[in-house]
Amino acid sequence: MLSCCSSKKAVAVAVQPSRTADNTAPEEAAPAQQEQEDHQTQQQQQQQQQEKEGNAKHAVEVKVSSPKLRHKLSPKPSPAPTRHHVVGEQFVGPHIKCRNQPYMNGPERAQVPDHLVSWEVEFPDYNPPDHTDDHVKANPEWADKEEDLPSIKFNEGPHRSFIGAYHVDSHTNLPRNPMGRTGMTGRGLLGRFGPNFAADPIVTRWKRDDDDVIQLDGQGRKILEMVCIKRKDTGEWAIPGGMVDRGEKVTSALRREFGEEALASHDITPEEREQVLDSIKDSFDHGIMVYEGYVDDPRNTDIAWLETTAVVFHDDDGTSFEQFDLKAGDDAGDVAWVSIEPKMQLYASHYSYVKLAYKIIAGQELES
C-alpha cells in the first residue's frame, strides 16, 4: 500500500511580559485589573483549545476525503480524470544513459565521470562535441528554428520545465540541462532547445490462462502484464509512448501515441485503428499519473533534454484491452504483452515508471 503522511512540529515562541498603559509590569497592576486580565487569558486559552480541536477534526476529515490521499492509500486505480496524481519522486540523478556512450546516429560523447556531472563542479577541460541531427536542422514544424534562439523565452510557455526554473546563459540564451553535463551539446535528435515533452501510457492487465484464471508467479503474486514495443533505434523494449505535439493536451497525446506505437504495425486500416481506440477511450480517460519530470534518455544533451508524463491505464477485469491479445515475446509487429518482472530491461527511465505503476496496481513493491 502506498502511504502518505504529513507532520508539522509545534514551535514554542517565548513572549515577553506585556506592559500596561502606564508602563508598569502586570505584577505591579491593581488586583482588580489583574483579575480581569486573568479572566481574559483564560477565555483566550479556551478559544484556542476549541480552535485546535476544530482543526484536528478538519485534518481527520481531509485525510479521509482527499482524493489524492485516497489514491495513495489504495492499490486500486481510481476512476478520477487523468489530470492527475503524481506519486513518483523527481529524478535526482546523476543521469547515466545520456553519458559516456556514442550518441544515437551521432558522434562520441565527451567522457563525464560521476563527480563532474554537476555544473557546480568546475571542469576546465570539458569540451563536448556540438551535434544537431540533419533532420532537426531541416526545421520540421515540431522543432525550434536555430535563428529563433535569441528570442525564445525559456522557463515560460512551451519551454517551461516540470522540474522548475533552469539556468539560461545570459550571453548565448542557451538553456542548460538541469541534471548536469551529458558530454555533448547541440540538440542531437531533439527538436526543442530546453525541455522536450513526451507522453508514456503504461497499459496493464493481469495475466490469465485460457480459462480466464489470473496467473501467479513463484512467490504467489498475481502476474501483471504491460503492452511494450521494441524500439527500432536501440532494440530495447519500451513503453509505447512518444512526443507531445505543440499545443496538444497530454491526455490526447497518451491515446494518440498508444495508437501510433502499439497499433501501427498491426494489419488494420487507420479507420479500424480509430475504432479500436474509441472502444477503449473510457480507459484512457481514467488513468493515474505515476511520474512527471526529467527522463534519463540517450537523446539528451547539455542544451536539450526529455521530460515526460507517465500514466498507468489498468484493465482489471481483462475486457477493456482484449483487442491486444498478443503472446509475450511475439516479434510480429514488435509489440507484445510483456510480464512485469523485477529489474526488467527497458528503454531509458521506463523501468522506474513501471515500478511505480506496479506499486499502485498490485499494492506492493515490485522489488521485495
DSSP class per residue in 244-262: PPTT--HHHHHHHHHHHHH
Distance, CA of 172 to CA of 248 (rounded, Å): 29
Number of domains in the chain: 1
- pLDDT block averages, 10 residues each, the chain of length 368: 32 31 35 48 56 39 29 35 44 81 90 96 97 95 94 94 95 96 97 95 91 91 90 84 81 74 64 70 78 92 95 85 48 71 90 92 86
181, burial (CB in 10 Å: exposed 0-12, middle 13-18, buried 19+):
buried
Contacts of 114 (CB under 8 A, 6+ apart): 94
Whether 181 is in a domain gets the answer no
Indicate the length of the chain as a whole number: 368
Distance, CA of 252 to CA of 246 (rounded, Å): 12
Range(s) of the domain holding residue 246: 77-94+197-362
Whether 213 is in a domain gets the answer yes
pLDDT number for residue 112: 96
CB atoms within 10 A of CB 74: 13
Whether 329 is in a domain gets the answer yes
Whether 189 is in a domain gets the answer no
Whether 60 is in a domain gets the answer no
Q: How far is CA 92 from the centre of its chain?
A: 12
Whether 132 is in a domain gets the answer no
pLDDT number for residue 64: 28
Query: Cell 533552469 sits at which residue?
Result: 166
pLDDT number for residue 336: 83
Check: CB of residue 276 under 8 Å from CB of residue 260.
Answer: no
Cell matching residue 144: 525550434
Phi-psi region of 237 (alpha: psi -120 to 50; beta: other; left: phi over 0): beta
Q: Which of 347, 342, 345, 349 is nearest to 367 (CA)?
A: 342
Check: CB of residue 49 under 8 Å from CB of residue 42.
Answer: no
Distance, CA of 206 to CA of 337 (rounded, Å): 10
Distance, CA of 262 to CA of 244 (rounded, Å): 16
> Is the pTM higher than 0.75?
no
pLDDT number for residue 40: 56
pLDDT number for residue 46: 57
Check: CB of residue 133 under 8 Å from CB of residue 189.
Answer: yes
pLDDT number for residue 231: 82
Mean pLDDT of the chain: 75
Whether 45 is in a domain gets the answer no
Whether 315 is in a domain gets the answer yes
CATH number at residue 358: 3.90.79.10
